[in-house]
């Protein structure tokens, strides 16, 4: 290896949401490991959002796909065990993994809730990268209970492609000399950033593998795909040079949560309660990410024609308290709502900043006490599950005390051309 070459690891949790849930259940006395049986994380069918969010490897063997309706999955596999999503748990596992990885390097980039880049150039053990990666893999398995796939290379793209090579609980290298042997035979769809639309166009051009894309005429790609063509060609050739950037500012722009209510909401009180259940999750996510917001927005989808509108406000002092955000959401809703039946409600916070420096204001209420309550509630829910503490106004309401969809979560970009 060249001396000024970097050494980058990509750490990817295997079947992340399902693994997190399985480990949590095993730690709390469950005897069956969800990972060993056909199982899936899925939204509830009764409440009109029943789709598969993550699946176990046995479930995959039945042909169950992420994103398909739960009823369809059940037709393929009647004994499928489904569990509801639990974002708080995912954030907890995410943070634990991040802390563990920090022991190996401080140059760490959160790429998504279950993916990290680690720049270990010059760090202890970097002269034996394979061994180092195995140490990390084993330590995660032992300490946190779930398995990861690790890719090793000299840039982020190749490390990410490398972690895909062997799953689960595995380590693979994909250094530039290995590209023709390990990456080029793969179907072109496996290349990072090749989505459905791009793949269709490439296939039409007779490009079926990453190798044929890499060896394609760059000018032709530029002609067909404009600037995108150059990026595709670079990626296929393993060319990528961005730094492992720890700046959270680049990744988290906003945190959103929305829900389709299982009946049409026609009164203000019920709408407020739905907003509260959304804010419960948003607030928790913010606190887990260590962020405060200054912009709060709500959105309303009408039941009648499914048209959509939203309303937002900017406040002086950044906040992360559930109650504080809820107070603003109530105000926004009351200002915006025209009184028509509502199908879908959403809450989104943005203009995020680390919760470390806050300019105090003469008017903004001090939410200090609320902060302590939030912290206590977060910890109880973490330990005993999200249903262990709920606000009493949800009793007999028929509404979920915490709505936590993953569908419109924008806190970590799942797909991005910026590595």
Partner 1 sequence: MKFTCSQNNFLEAVLTVQKAVSARSSTPLLEGILLETQKDVLKLVGTNLDLGIETYIEADIREEGSVVIPSRLLSEIIRKLPDAEIEVTLLGNYSVKIVCLNSLVTLQGFAPDEYPSLPDISESEPIEISKMLLAKMIRETIFAVATDESRPVLTGSLLEVEDGEVTMVSLDGYRLALQKGRIESSAGHRKVIIPGKSLGEIGRIIDGSDDNISITISDRHVLFDLGYTRIISRVLEGEFINYRQIIPEDYRTRVKVDTKILTSSIERASLIAREGKNNLIKLNLQDQKMTITANSESGQVYEEIPVLLEGKDLEIAFNARYFMDMLKAIPDQEICMDLTTNVSPCVIRPIKGSDYTYLLLPVRIFG
Which CB atom, from 356 or from 395, has the smaller least distance to partner 1? 356
* Nearest residue to 279 via CA among 342, 336, 321: 321
* Tokens representing residue 17 in the block: 């949401």
Q: How far apart are CA 296 and CA 351, in angstroms?
A: 9
Q: Is 106 in the site for partner 1 (CB under 8 A)?
A: no
Mask for 288-317, x = binds partner 1 (CB under 8 A): ----------------------------x-
List, as one string, the DSSP characters of 250-264.
GT--EEEEEEEEEEE
Catalytic residue among 30, 68, 115, 178: 115
Which CB atom, from 359 or from 392, has the smaller least distance to partner 1? 359
Q: How far apart are CA 290 and CA 285, in angstroms?
A: 9
List, as one string, the DSSP characters of 142-171.
HHHS--EEEEEESSHHHHHHHHHHS-SSEE
Burial class (CB in 10 A: 0-12, 13-18, 19+), 226: exposed
* Tokens representing residue 166 in the block: 């062997």
- At which residue do the structure tokens 């401080």 appear? 106
Residue 221: CB minimum distance to partner 1, A: 37
Residue 247: CB minimum distance to partner 1, A: 9
Tell me which residues in 242-261 interact with partner 1 (CB under 8 A): 249
Residue 100: CB minimum distance to partner 1, A: 20
Please answer whether residues 335 and 379 qualify as being in contact, where contact means their C-beta atoms are separated by less than 8 angstroms: no
Residue 317: CB minimum distance to partner 1, A: 9
Which CB atom, from 31 or from 359, has the smaller least distance to partner 1? 359
Residue 256: CB minimum distance to partner 1, A: 22
Mask for 348-387, x = binds partner 1 (CB under 8 A): -----x-xxxxxxxxxx-----------------------
Residue 418: CB minimum distance to partner 1, A: 19
Residue 304 annotated as catalytic: no
Which CB atom, from 306 or from 360, has the smaller least distance to partner 1? 360
Total residues at interface with partner 1 (CB under 8 A): 13
Mask for 203-242, x = binds partner 1 (CB under 8 A): ----------------------------------------
Q: How far apart are CA 359 and CA 16, in angstroms?
A: 38
b/e per residue 276-307 (b: at least 16 CB within 10 A)? bbbbbbbbbbbbbbebbbbbbbbbbbbeeeee
Give the residues lining the site for partner 1 (CB under 8 A): 249, 316, 353, 355-364
Active site residues: 115
């Amino acid at each position: 290896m060249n001396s000024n070459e970097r050494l980058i690891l990509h750490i990817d949790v295997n079947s992340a949401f399902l693994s997190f849930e399985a480990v949590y259940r095993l730690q709390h006395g469950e005897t069956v490991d969800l990972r060993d049986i056909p199982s899936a994380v899925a939204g509830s069918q009764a409440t009109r959002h029943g789709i598969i969010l993550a699946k176990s490897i046995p479930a995959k063997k039945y042909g169950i796909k992420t994103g398909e309706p739960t009823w369809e999955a059940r037709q393929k596999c009647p004994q499928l065990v489904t569990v509801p999503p639990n974002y708080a748990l995912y954030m907890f596992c995410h943070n634990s993994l991040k802390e563990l990885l920090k022991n190996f390097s401080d140059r760490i980039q959160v790429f998504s809730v279950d993916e990290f880049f680690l720049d270990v150039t010059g760090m202890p053990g970097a002269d034996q990268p394979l061994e180092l990666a195995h140490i990390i893999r084993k330590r995660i398995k032992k300490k946190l209970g779930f398995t990861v796939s690790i890719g090793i290379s000299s840039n982020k793209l190749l490390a990410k492609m490398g972690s895909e090579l062997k799953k689960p609980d595995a380590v693979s290298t994909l250094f530039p000399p290995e590209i023709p042997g390990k990456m080029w035979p793969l179907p072109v769809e496996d290349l990072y950033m090749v989505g459905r639309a791009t793949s269709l166009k490439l296939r039409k051009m007779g490009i079926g593998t990453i190798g044929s894309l890499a060896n394609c005429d760059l000018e032709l790609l530029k002609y067909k795909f404009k600037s995108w063509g150059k990026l595709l060609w670079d990626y296929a050739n393993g060319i990528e040079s961005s730094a492992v950037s720890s700046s959270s500012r680049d990744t988290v722009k906003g945190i959103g949560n929305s829900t389709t209510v299982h009946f049409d909401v026609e009164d203000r009180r019920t709408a407020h309660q739905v907003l509260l259940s959304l804010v419960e999750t948003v607030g928790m996510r913010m606190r887990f990410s260590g962020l405060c917001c200054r912009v709060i927005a709500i959105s309303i989808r009408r039941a009648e024609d499914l048209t959509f509108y939203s309303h937002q406000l900017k406040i002086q002092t950044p906040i992360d308290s559930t109650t504080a955000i809820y107070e603003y959401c109530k105000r926004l809703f009351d200002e915006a709502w025209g009184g028509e039946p509502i199908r879908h409600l959403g809450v989104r916070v943005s203009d995020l900043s680390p919760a470390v420096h806050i300019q105090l204001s003469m008017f903004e209420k001090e939410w200090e006490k609320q902060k302590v309550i939030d912290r206590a509630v977060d910890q109880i829910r973490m330990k005993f599950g999200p249903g262990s503490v709920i606000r009493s106004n949800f009793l007999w309401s028929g509404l979920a005390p915490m709505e936590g969809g993953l569908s419109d979560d924008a806190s970590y970009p799942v797909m991005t051309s910026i590595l």
